Amino acid sequence: MDFGIAGDSALVTASSSGLGLASAIALAEEGANVAICSRDDARLAAAEKRVDQAGRGDVLAVEADITDPDHVKAFVEQTVAEFGGLDHVVTSAGGPPSGPFLDTLERDWYVAYDMLVMSAVWTAKAVQPHLEQSGAGTFVAITSLSVREPVEGLVLSNSVRKAVIGLVKTLSREFAPEIRVNAVLPGAHETARFTELIEQGVERGDLADYEEGLENWAEDIPLNRIGDPRELGDVVAFLSSERSSYVTGVSLPIDGGKLRS
């Protein structure tokens, strides 16, 4: 299926790995020009190469910290200057540390809020005028299944990410009809973050080894497996395309059927 976004311009935050990178690759494969960012030069260069190889559009790689509003604004401005406009935006962010509530420091809450919520707020403010001018503007926020059902040991993610869903639902009305705003709620996908969570569980003694972690995560998923990041990226590309032109304000689980509510 042709998503009809060839030649469009897209920006994906925190996109040097994981679900952000998977989304950037999916958009590039559909022919979009794609801007990516990261705080890590080496990871950014590797991601730029992968996105460039995946598509036929242009790729812009910018070193930026999404917890700094000045960096976010500069990333958006550089993308618009490079591509001559902006049509699609995807917000992604790394996950906060795992652990139970009583082991979480007060400072951890502020850091998690800037990373998960304010990064989306700053991005939305910076891109709104450009998406409005696009005529096909879309904004997709990558959050987590934890906004619907808490995940054990992820108190920061369970609590803080919910604010992004409130933001998405609000913006879907305030930005309409020029800009469609949606969210995706990933379940378990085999990313570096996913691997890190299992390894932390092993270190705490909750798991015997990585293989046990994989089995534990998959046992309550009806499809009986962990997701491939590309499966998330394809949905993001769909929500960014004209094929989803009557979809806005949606929070779509991509979880292999794990969500019970």
State the pLDDT confidence band at 216, using cuts at 50, 70 and 90: confident
pLDDT at residue number 202:
87
pLDDT at residue number 100:
92
State the pLDDT confidence band at 124, using cuts at 50, 70 and 90: very high
Q: What is the pTM of this model?
A: 0.93
Question: Does some domain include residue 213?
Answer: no
Work out the average pLDDT over 1-23.
Answer: 95
pLDDT at residue number 132:
98
pLDDT at 103 over 80: yes
Question: Does some domain include residue 223?
Answer: no
Quick: pLDDT tens for 23-77: 999 999 999 999 999 999 999 999 999 999 999 999 999 999 999 999 999 999 9
- How many residues make up the chain in this entry? 261
On average, the pLDDT of the chain sits at 95
Work out the average pLDDT over 77-88.
Answer: 98
Question: Does some domain include residue 134?
Answer: yes
- Nearest by Cα to 90 from 12, 182, 144: 12
Question: Does some domain include residue 252?
Answer: no
Domain span at 167:
9-189+235-241
Question: Does some domain include residue 204?
Answer: no
Q: How far apart are CA 40 and CA 58, in angstroms?
A: 21
Look up residue 122 and give its amino acid.
Answer: W
Question: Does some domain include residue 258?
Answer: no
pLDDT at residue number 94:
86
State the pLDDT confidence band at 200, using cuts at 50, 70 and 90: confident
Question: Does some domain include residue 201?
Answer: no
Please indicate whether residue 237 or residue 94 has the higher confidence score (pLDDT). 237
pLDDT at residue number 110:
97
pLDDT at residue number 194:
81
High-pLDDT (> 90) share of the chain, %: 82
How many domains does the structure of the chain reveal? 1
Name which of 104-108, 165-169, 207-211, 240-244 the model is least confident about: 207-211
The CATH number of whichever domain residue 28 belongs to comes to 3.40.50.720
- Contact by Cβ (8 Å): 51, 230: no
pLDDT at 1 over 70: no
Question: Does some domain include residue 197?
Answer: no
